[in-house]
Amino acid sequence: MLWPAAIFFWILFILSFILLLYMDLQSPVEPSVTVQTTDVIEVLSNGPEKTVIETEVDTVVVEPPRQTTWMETIYLGIPNANPILSFMTIAINAGMLMMTLDLTFRTYLFYPATDLMFHRPIPTSPFSANIFIRSPPESPSPLRLFYKPVDVTTWETGPVVYQFDNSTDFTSVVALNGLAPSTPYSYAVLPPDMDIDMANSSSFGSFETFPHHGKHGRWSFGSSSCILPHVPYNPLDHPLRIQGLEYLEKDMPNLKFFTLLGSCPYLQSC
């Protein structure tokens, strides 16, 4: 986590900025004054009695104090004689700190989602599929699974799931066996007191089994690193918005499977 370092460097920046500003006010930079001595040799005659006069001329050079440029103020945080620039660099750094804290803590504080319940299909085979389910302790249990081919009206009864505990963050993987290859399926995850005809849309999902071994055909898959909520960062977006999934849904709606290659703890179950 980098947010402690961000706060530390922000405090260090403010203290350094105040110190530099105080030193400038207490001992303003004086103009640089230098004296340059020049030897002048003057020859009065070229005859046998040549007369040479050598004199020294002192020149006083006054150089105004060097002014801090706007780039040094904005990028390096050095106080500037222009108070607007000095205020601007503080405001920019304060804004960056606030965005860092917002990205780090807004979701955690306002959307903790400790009671999150969800399900999704994970890698399938020609004859089986796995359903990943999270059911927090407040949810009714056990959960019942139903499944059927998409073009069939009758639902088949799947496993009943009991194993949800804190050691796995209240998650479990359920296997559906005896499926047909290259077949799209629908499934439903229901609590014990709900009938499938009364279930809402969040209880349903779908998957497609892989072709039989050795069968040729066209298929597609995708891969990515971590897909995180609120990344890329936009302070006006909802903190739970995941643009990566939106891109997948828009540009690659027919993927057969997808792999996440990152090590983000949010995605360890994928």
Domain boundaries, the chain: 3-110, 112-217, 218-270
Nearest to 150 by CA among 197, 108, 182, 173: 182
Q: Is the pLDDT of residue 112 over 70?
A: yes
- Share the mean pLDDT of the chain: 79
- Residue 80 CB: number of other CB atoms within 10 A? 20
Tokens of 189: 């995850």
Which carries the bigger pLDDT value, residue 206 or residue 59? 206
31, pLDDT greater than 80: no
> Which pair of tokens denotes residue 261?
């290659």
Query: 105 or 138: which carries more pLDDT confidence?
Result: 105
- In terms of pLDDT, which residue wins out, 89 or 27? 89
Does residue 267 register a pLDDT over 60? Answer: no
Q: Are 229 and 240 in contact (CB under 8 A)?
A: yes
Core vs surface per residue 48-78: b (16+ CB within 10 A) or e: eeeeeeeeeeeeeeeeeeeebeeeebeeebb
pLDDT at 27 over 70: no
User: Residue 224: pLDDT band by 50, 70, 90 thresholds?
Assistant: confident
**pLDDT of 201 strictly over 90:** no
CB atoms within 10 A of CB 227: 19
Q: Which residues contact 132 (CB under 8 A, 6 or more apart)?
A: 119, 120, 121, 122, 171, 172, 173, 269
Contacts of 94 (CB under 8 A, 6+ apart): 10
Rounded-to-integer distance, Cα 70 and Cα 74, Å: 6
Split at pLDDT 50, 70, 90, the class of 15 is confident
The 10 Å Cβ neighbour count of residue 47 is 7
Sign, CA dihedral 166-168-170-175, equals negative
Q: Whole-prediction pTM value?
A: 0.61
Percent of all residues in the chain with a pLDDT value above 90, rounded to a whole number: 11
Residue 187: is its pLDDT beyond 90? yes
pLDDT of residue 245: 79
Query: How confident is the model over 121-167, as pLDDT tens digits?
Result: 887 888 999 999 998 887 887 889 999 999 988 999 988 888 788 88
Exposure of 64 in the CB half-sphere (CA atoms within 13 A)? 2
Query: What contacts 24+ positions apart, CB below 8 Å, involve 56-59?
Result: 59/35
* Greater pLDDT, 263 or 255: 255
Dmax (CA) of the chain: 131
Distances in whole angstroms, Cα of residue 268 to Cα of each of 166, 191, 236: 15, 26, 28
Mean per-residue pLDDT, 29-43? 65
Quick one: pLDDT band at residue 209, thresholds 50, 70, 90?
confident
Selected residue with higher pLDDT from 55 and 181? 181
Q: Does residue 126 or residue 249 have the better pLDDT?
A: 126
| CATH architecture classification, 112-217 | Sandwich (2.60)
CB atoms within 10 A of CB 79: 23
Strands (E), the chain: 32-43, 52-63, 118-122, 128-134, 143-149, 156-161, 171-177, 184-190, 204-208, 221-224, 257-260
97: phi then psi, degrees, rounded to nearest 5: -65, -45
